[in-house]
Structure 1
Amino acid sequence: MQEAELVTPGEVLGRAAELKAGKGAYVAPHNKTIYASLTGLRRIIPPPTDSADQRPTVEVTGHKAHGPVPEPGSVVIARITKVMARTASADIMCVGPKSVRENFTGIIRQQDVRATEIDKVDMHLSFHPGDMVRAVVLSLGDARAYYLSTAKNELGVVSAESSAGAAMVPISWTEMQCPLTGQIEQRKVAKVEVN
C-alpha cells in the first residue's frame, strides 16, 4: 500500500484512461481527467483480479474518516456519561493511544463490569458520571453504541474526580480515595501496571 498523500478539491488525481474515479473523485468529461472533489487523502486501490476493468481506482477519503474507529478487541478510553441500574453509558475518547475524531458511544452492561460475582455488581458503585475508564470493545451493540467490557483486572476506572473536585487515588480494586477529604468511594478500579 502506497503512502497516502493529502489532496484538495480540484487537484488532478490522474487520467481516466489509467484510473477509475472512486469515492471523493470525479472524471471531467471534457478532458477525461480525474479530480479530487474533497480535501483528504488520495489512495490507489488495485482492481479485483476477476474484474474485466483492470484499472486501479483512485479515491479520496476525508480527514474525518481517518480518525481511529473502535473495533471488537480494541482497548478504548471512555468517559462515563450516565449510570443506570443495569448499564453505564460512555463517550469513547481514545482507541488505543489515538484520540477519536467522531462521537462514538459505548455501553457497559452489568454482566460486563467484572469477571466474578457478576450478579452482585452495582453499577452505581462501579462508575460515576465523569469517570474515565479503560475498557475493551466487545461488539457493535444496538443504537450505534459499542458494547464495552471492564471485566479484566487491567480494565476499569483509570481516573475519577471526587465530590471535592480532586483527582482520586486508587487504594484497592474496588475503592478510590479523595486526597483532600480522605473520603473513600466505590469504583471498579483498573489495576495499575507497576513498572
Structure 2
Amino acid sequence: MASTIALPGQLLGPTKSNTIGPVTHISGPNLYASIAGPLVSTPSTSKSSPAATISIPRPSGALLPELATTVIGKITRTNPRQASLSILALGPNGASVLREPLPALIRQQDIRATEIDKVKVAESFRVGDVVRAVVISLGDERAYYLTTARNELGVVMAWSEGGNVMVPVSWREFVDEGTGVREGRKVAKPV
C-alpha cells in the first residue's frame, strides 16, 4: 500500500497477505477499499493466519449505514432483476437524515423471504416509492445491497400512476383512495 489514505474501490492488496477488515471488500483474489479514509493495518495475533487485517475507520460524526442498519430510501429506477434507490435516512423511521443520498440496490432475490422465484420487481416497487429496508452488504464501490425480506420491510409510502397518495390494504397491495385503483407493492408492516 503506497498511500495512507484509500479511495473507494482502491486496490489494497491480495487476500493471501491481507485479511478483510471493516469497510473493505473482496473482489476476486484482491482486497479493496469500500469508502475513502485512512488505512489501518493490524498485525495478526494468530499463528495459523499471519496476514494483517486491513481496515478503514469510519470518520466520527459521519452517518454511514453499516450491516443490519435499517434505512429509508426512495426508488429511483427498476428493471426485471433489481430496484435502484437512494438511501435518504437511517433508522426504522428515518430519524437520522443523511446530508447526501447514498446509492443502493435491492435485488430480486432480496425482496421477499418466501416464493423468491415468483417475485417480480415491477410488482413490488415503482419509481418514487419510499421504502424501509435493511443493509445486508456494504456492496461494492457503486452501491449498498439492501433487503426487504421481512414483514416490517418494504414500501411505506407510495403514489398512484395518477399522482395520488396511496394507502396499504394488504401485504402486497396499495389502493388509490381517490380512484379505488389497486397497485401491487411489497408493503411494509407498520412498526
Q: TM-score of the superposition, structure 1-length normalised? A: 0.64
% same residue: 53
User: Residue type matched to 1:184 in 2?
Assistant: R
- 1:67 CA displacement: 4.2
RMSD (Å) for aligned C-alpha atoms:
1.6
Question: Secondary structure at 1:171's aligned position in 2?
Answer: strand
- 2:101 alignment counterpart: 103
Kept in 2: contact 1:107–1:147 (CA 8 A): yes
- Alignment match of 1:79 (pick from 74, 97, 109): 74
Question: Secondary structure at 1:124's aligned position in 2?
Answer: helix
- Alignment match of 1:153 (pick from 151, 158, 166): 151
- 1:126 alignment counterpart: 124
Kept in 2: contact 1:80–1:133 (CA 8 A): yes
Kept in 2: contact 1:67–1:101 (CA 8 A): no
Aligned ranges 1:177-188 → 2 under 5 Å: 177-188=175-186
- The reply on whether 1:70 has 2:68 as its aligned counterpart is no
- 2:115 alignment counterpart: 117
Q: TM-score of the superposition, structure 2-length normalised? A: 0.66
User: Residue type matched to 2:185 in 1?
Assistant: R
Structure 2 CA distance for aligned equivalents of residues 103 and 133 of structure 1: 14
- Alignment match of 1:91 (pick from 86, 91, 105): 86
- 1:141 CA displacement: 1.2
Structure 2 CA distance for aligned equivalents of residues 77 and 140 of structure 1: 16
- The reply on whether 1:142 has 2:140 as its aligned counterpart is yes
- 1:95 CA displacement: 0.9
Alignment length (residue pairs): 131
- 1:142 CA displacement: 2.5
Question: Secondary structure at 1:105's aligned position in 2?
Answer: strand
User: Residue type matched to 1:134 in 2?
Assistant: R
User: Residue type matched to 1:191 in 2?
Assistant: K
Kept in 2: contact 1:130–1:160 (CA 8 A): yes
Structure 1: gaps (5+ residues): 1-22, 24-60
- 1:175 CA displacement: 0.2
Structure 2 CA distance for aligned equivalents of residues 67 and 184 of structure 1: 40
1:127-177 Cα shifts (integer Å, max 9, x gaps):
000000000000111242000000000000000011121110000000000
Question: Secondary structure at 1:160's aligned position in 2?
Answer: strand
- 1:172 alignment counterpart: 170
